[in-house]
Structure 1
């Protein structure tokens, strides 16, 4: 079964505008970084600049595996999704480059990063730990959405 064959059940492709709106309203996703044994998956919170970049913060310094893999990666993948029910969900898969943001640019990103969701434990750790900010540049994007009931389940 292909994605195109599911269109009759209400699955639709998201266009650039839909994807931008979706990313603007989301705050968490999964970052996939390449390793020898397959992707290393990291849940993360992000801020979206409204254009072609996501920004996120890592806490813990250069000794953390996620930071080492991020520094070594030229390209990465981010999956952002929202599921309200089995008949109403959206997902966006992003491919692109990843790079550390120089500390001299951090102040310019304050508004974008303020939108990122963080557990309270991370907010406290930011004041005590090494922090790094990364830019994920969106090179390719694909979004899918299913909204509504499948055929045969229409309300009476």
Structure 2
């Protein structure tokens, strides 16, 4: 779909400041890691540093598929979206290099991870298996939004 076709139905691109504000206000997204055949997709809690990186946690033992793929991957994609109504939504796609964060740096990420959303089961899983923190350095970020009815429906 071209930009003019999107605009005709009320979908517009997001400016960098809008994307950053959106990422700062959200706490969960979908990580896409390269895998054989099709990407491995997994929902994850995340924190945004306000500039050029997002951080997320992998919970589980050393035989975790997402940990294996995350350690093997050079690059990854990440999707963050919010859909309040069929005509009110935002979607941001990020991509860049992914790497494990050294344990010595994890305590410094408290503020960055402040907006991350965690399910109740997270506390139990952390006490059972521990966590690893990963960073995705944002090289590309693109956002789209629709903020109301398409122009043809407006009075």
SS in 1 for 2:140: strand
Q: Is structure 2 residue 140 aligned with structure 1 residue 140?
A: yes
Gaps of 5+ in 1: none
Paired residue for 1:32? 32
Paired residue for 1:154? 154
Q: Retained in 2: the 8 A contact 1:61–1:132?
A: no
Deviation, 1:3, is: 4.1
Distance 1:123 1:4 in 2: 47
Could you state the TM-score of these two structures normalised by the residue count of structure 2?
A: 0.95
Distance 1:53 1:122 in 2: 23
Query: What is the root-mean-square deviation in Å for CA atoms of aligned residues?
Result: 1.2
Output one character per residue of 1:23-73: Cα deviation in whole Å (capped at 9) or x when no partner.
Answer: 001111100000121101011110111111111111112210010000000
Q: How many residues align?
A: 155
Runs of 4 or more above 6 Å deviation: none
Distance 1:113 1:126 in 2: 15
Paired residue for 1:64? 64
Q: Retained in 2: the 8 A contact 1:56–1:134?
A: yes
Paired residue for 1:21? 21
Distance 2:101 2:6 in 1: 40
Could you state the TM-score of these two structures normalised by the residue count of structure 1?
A: 0.94
SS in 2 for 1:21: helix
Deviation, 1:15, is: 1.0
Deviates more, 1:100-109 or 1:1-10: 1-10
